């Protein structure tokens, strides 16, 4: 699946992959390793940690406490011309390190240097140097906690296992894949000497324009919750024992309502009624808290006129008191400064620090200028504007996290204790996720799978580059370094060429420019590509988006670029069949060409093994089983999600006025084709009513009526026929992915509880009302009515 076999240490089998992921095998370690790692992962109980934290707090000065609440980026403490960049090769500037850690007592560092991935050996040297100062030269001997955004593999570690992005992960509709991603990523993050991962992204992806859509898990709160819990379990372990040297502290983000700004652009204001926040945006975070996530990152934006970083009602009243979250609350990048520099709710830095800390923030991801934060917070406490109890509360949580990670006993690890880092076994798991994620959206006249003897033209800007396969947060923030760091993996063209050899030809036609800006495109050998198309039996046209992240990924038009659309039309004009492959982080509108192409495959950002998985699907070695975790819109003014109110789709009315409403996306949420066919029947409910402590079992038969094995996602929805607040037309309540052999039938059973049918009312309270509900099976016309009796 890769062009060359990577070297690695295979003689110690520290881990083995079970059917559900990775299991750490103590028996396979050497005796010395086993003793060392066992000692390092001894888990103190909560009472022991509390005693140690209390003792530390009593002996710490105010300045030492405030420093623990400060986090800086790595460039600040490396050699270089300024604190915004680093010299190469990257080295710590020990004067800067000591200024930050000894003078200002900074307790956390994040990110990489020069926005560039580093090897595990470089990470060991850098973080080892930081920890030596923190644990040997400071009065308190408190280790630094290092954090990173490892959202689909270890972003900033060269040679790590890069997975598909979270949107693709959700397209598998198989939460076990979330566990696998989490467990492998935790292992490789710890191998990099980094114990804290700013992941998973639990934002409700309600706006397809949004530049971080690809980082999240779609538009349904239940689907996000299911995957979020499994990712956290993978990161932290079954019992959340993050002292385990193969586990990390997870950081759910971005609390709350981050992904639905009114403009569709990153870090711009959102207007969200409280009942909407509670019913749709909050459940994934509530589920993650119940799953034991240790930390949480805050929304960088503004909701209803109040920046979330200054919102006491959200951070303290809701998150701390109502949800009972006991972990560390960390800001996003520079967002305390943004309270006065951008949002204008504070007059200066001091006032911004006061607002954020009093709102409930524990740690500031300052990034660069740590001195003003530390100096201002010390002064605020001395002047009585921030209570010492608030400082002790925040620092106590930070110290607790460090003890739970066992950083006091073992602040660093030896990369040699992680021989499965970047291994072929891990890579196979990434490939499996990509294979289950890639979604077949159109297959006119069963053109797919292709015959390997066909003459094939592979073309388009996504056809021969790793960047549009990996997307953002891959070796760099914007992902522009993928072709450098991932050169040993197959692009789409290379994977297809390995399948069919001389029967395939590549011409770019249109290419992404090799610069940071994801929008930059150009014609390359355009006319030659058109001529090559005329000589081919079929065209595989790879369009979509180049990589981007956050604010640089903002757009003004969701429609696919004019150049790409024109290229598609020119290829269609040859009369040859076109298979459209979309590598993109959000659903770009393709209505001008969708009806004319013969096949459409949504590949999302499928990672380093995405080219291999895609080729296997195109030629039938893998039967596609992905389903959309989002609604794929058909027009820029039709961005309604599948969760919507009845007025969004009204039948034509009689009389003078016609109030017909049309919900007509290009492809519906939960949709995805297979190379086989499935037949549903025999929908049954165990009772015709549901009440407290009286759940209803819903069963349905699913048969594979085709000639090859296939996986199907059985989706259960409900519809509240009458409610005190206008109900959603349908809501996903349960799902299960099953494998069926040709001719095989399985009965799939779901249990519905009365709490599954609750909604948030006008008083912002969860409520279940008596009445009738409809249960529906996705992608079928099967439905039944049952009654609810709270």
Task: Tell me if residue 332 is catalytic.
Answer: yes
Measured distance CA(324)–CA(312) in Å, rounded? 15
Q: What are phi and psi of 440, to 5 degrees?
A: -85, 115
The radius of gyration of the chain's CA atoms, rounded to the nearest angstrom, is 27
**Residue found under tokens 């709102």:** 359
| CA-CA-CA-CA dihedral for 266, 271, 276, 277, to nearest 10 | 60
492, two tokens: 């789409």
Beta bridge partners of 539: 457, 578
Among residues 604, 749, 620, the alpha carbon closest in space to that of 171 is found at 604
Among residues 500, 576, 582, the alpha carbon closest in space to that of 541 is found at 582
620, two tokens: 């039938």
Catalytic residue among 203, 244, 332, 343: 332
Q: How far apart are the first and last CA of the chain?
A: 54
Residue pair 296/285 in contact by the 8 Å Cβ criterion:
yes
Q: How far is CA 20 from the centre of its chain?
A: 20
Measured distance CA(254)–CA(309) in Å, rounded? 11
467, two tokens: 């960047």
Measured distance CA(676)–CA(703) in Å, rounded? 11
Q: What are phi and psi of 719, to 5 degrees?
A: -140, 125
612, two tokens: 């291999």
CB atoms under 10 Å from CB of 677, counted, come to: 13
Residue pair 357/394 in contact by the 8 Å Cβ criterion:
yes
DSSP 703-733: EE-SSS-EEEEEEEEEEESS-SSPPPS-EEE
Measured distance CA(290)–CA(286) in Å, rounded? 6
Q: What are phi and psi of 636, to 5 degrees?
A: -70, -20
Among residues 214, 355, 225, the alpha carbon closest in space to that of 286 is found at 225
Residue 205: Cβ-neighbour burial (10 angstroms; 0-12, 13-18, 19+): buried
Among residues 732, 589, 580, 603, the alpha carbon closest in space to that of 664 is found at 589
Helices (runs of H) and strands (runs of E) counted in the chain: 23, 30
Q: What SS3 class is residue 37?
A: helix
271, two tokens: 């207007």
DSSP state of 301: S
Conformation bin of residue 141: beta by default, left when phi > 0, alpha when psi is -120 to 50: left
Among residues 145, 140, 90, the alpha carbon closest in space to that of 115 is found at 90
- The enclosing H or E element of 339 equals helix 338-341
Residue pair 467/548 in contact by the 8 Å Cβ criterion:
no
Q: Could you list the beta-strand ranges (E) of 434-532.
A: 439-443, 456-459, 504-507, 509-512, 521-524
**Residue found under tokens 């063209």:** 493
Measured distance CA(309)–CA(546) in Å, rounded? 31
Residue pair 748/771 in contact by the 8 Å Cβ criterion:
no
How many residues in the chain?
Answer: 790
Residue pair 729/646 in contact by the 8 Å Cβ criterion:
yes
Conformation bin of residue 493: beta by default, left when phi > 0, alpha when psi is -120 to 50: alpha
Q: Where are the alpha helices (DSSP H) in 360-387?
A: 370-382
Active site residues: 332
């Amino acid at each position: 699946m890769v062009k060359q076999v990577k070297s690695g240490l295979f003689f110690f089998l520290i881990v083995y992959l079970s059917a559900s992921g990775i299991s750490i095998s103590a028996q396979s370690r050497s005796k010395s390793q086993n003793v060392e790692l066992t000692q390092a992962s001894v888990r103190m109980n909560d009472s022991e940690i509390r005693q140690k934290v209390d003792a530390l707090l009593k002996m710490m000065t105010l300045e030492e406490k405030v420093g623990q609440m400060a986090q800086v980026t790595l460039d600040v403490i490396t050699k270089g011309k300024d604190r915004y960049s680093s010299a190469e090769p990257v080295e710590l500037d020990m004067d800067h390190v000591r200024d930050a850690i000894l003078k200002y007592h900074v307790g956390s560092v994040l990110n990489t240097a020069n926005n560039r991935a580093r090897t595990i050996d470089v990470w060991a040297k850098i973080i080892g140097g930081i920890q030596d100062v923190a644990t040997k030269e400071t009065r308190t001997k408190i280790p630094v906690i290092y954090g990173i955004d490892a959202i689909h593999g270890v972003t900033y570690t060269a040679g790590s296992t890069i997975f598909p992005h979270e949107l693709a992960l959700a397209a598998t509709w198989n939460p076990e894949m979330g566990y696998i991603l989490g467990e492998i990523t935790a292992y490789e993050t710890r191998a990099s000497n980094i114990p804290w991962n700013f992941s998973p992204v639990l934002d409700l992806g309600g706006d397809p324009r949004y530049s971080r859509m690809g980082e999240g898990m779609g538009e349904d709160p239940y689907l996000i919750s299911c995957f979020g819990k499994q990712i956290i379990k993978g990161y932290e372990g079954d019992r959340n024992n993050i002292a385990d040297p193969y586990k990390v502290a997870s950081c759910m983000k971005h609390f709350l309502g981050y992904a639905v700004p009114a403009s569709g652009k990153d870090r711009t204001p959102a207007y969200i009624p409280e009942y909407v926040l509670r019913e749709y945006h909050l459940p994934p975070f509530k589920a993650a808290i119940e799953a034991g996530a240790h930390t949480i990152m805050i929304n960088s934006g503004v909701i209803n006129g109040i920046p979330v970083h200054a919102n006491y009602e959200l951070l303290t009243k809701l998150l701390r008191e109502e949800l009972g979250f006991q972990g560390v609350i960390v800001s996003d990048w520079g967002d305390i400064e943004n309270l006065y520099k951008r949002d204008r709710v504070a007059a200066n830095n001091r006032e911004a620090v006061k607002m954020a800390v009093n709102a409930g923030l524990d740690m500031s991801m300052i990034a660069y200028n740590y001195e003003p934060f530390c100096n201002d917070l010390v002064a605020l406490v001395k002047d009585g504007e921030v209570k010492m109890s608030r400082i002790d509360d925040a620092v106590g949580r930070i110290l607790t996290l460090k003890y739970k990670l066992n950083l006091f006993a073992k602040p660093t690890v030896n990369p040699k204790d992680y021989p499965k880092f970047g291994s072929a076994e891990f890579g196979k798991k990434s490939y499996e996720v990509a294979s289950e994620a890639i979604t077949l959206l159109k297959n006119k006249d069963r053109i797919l799978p292709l015959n390997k003897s066909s003459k094939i033209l592979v073309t388009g800007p996504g056809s021969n580059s790793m960047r549009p396969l990996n997307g953002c947060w891959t070796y760099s923030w914007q992902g522009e370094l993928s072709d450098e760091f991932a050169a040993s993996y197959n692009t789409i063209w290379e994977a297809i060429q390995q399948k069919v050899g001389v029967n395939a030809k590549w011409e770019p036609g249109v290419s992404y420019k090799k610069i940071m800006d994801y929008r930059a495109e150009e014609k390359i050998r355009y006319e030659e590509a058109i001529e090559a198309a005329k000589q081919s039996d079929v065209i595989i046209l790879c369009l979509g988006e180049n990589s981007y992240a956050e604010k640089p990924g903002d757009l003004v038009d969701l429609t696919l670029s004019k150049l790409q659309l024109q290229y598609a039309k020119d290829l269609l004009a040859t009369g040859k069949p076109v298979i459209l492959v979309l590598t993109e982080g959000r659903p770009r509108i393709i209505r001008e060409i969708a009806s004319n192409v013969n096949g459409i495959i949504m590949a999302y950002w499928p990672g380093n093994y995405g080219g291999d998985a895609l080729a296997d699907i195109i030629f039938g070695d893998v039967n596609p089983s992905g389903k959309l975790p989002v609604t794929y819109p058909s027009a820029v003014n039709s961005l309604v999600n599948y969760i919507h109110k009845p007025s969004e789709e009204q039948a034509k009315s009689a009389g003078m006025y016609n109030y017909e409403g049309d919900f007509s996306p290009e492809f519906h949420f939960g949709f995805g084709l297979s190379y086989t066919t499935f037949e549903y029947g025999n929908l049954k409910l165990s009772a015709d009513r549901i009440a407290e402590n009286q759940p209803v079992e819903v069963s349905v038969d699913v048969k594979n009526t085709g000639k090859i094995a296939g996986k199907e996602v059985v989706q259960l929805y409900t519809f509240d026929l009458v409610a005190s607040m206008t109900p959603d037309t349908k809501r996903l309540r349960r799902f299960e992915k099953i494998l069926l052999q040709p001719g095989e039938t399985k009965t799939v059973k779901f249990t519905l509880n009365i709490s599954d049918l609750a909604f948030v009312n006008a008083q912002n309270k969860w409520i279940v009302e008596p009445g009738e509900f409809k249960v529906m099976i996705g992608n079928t016309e099967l439905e039944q009515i049952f009654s609810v009796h709270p």
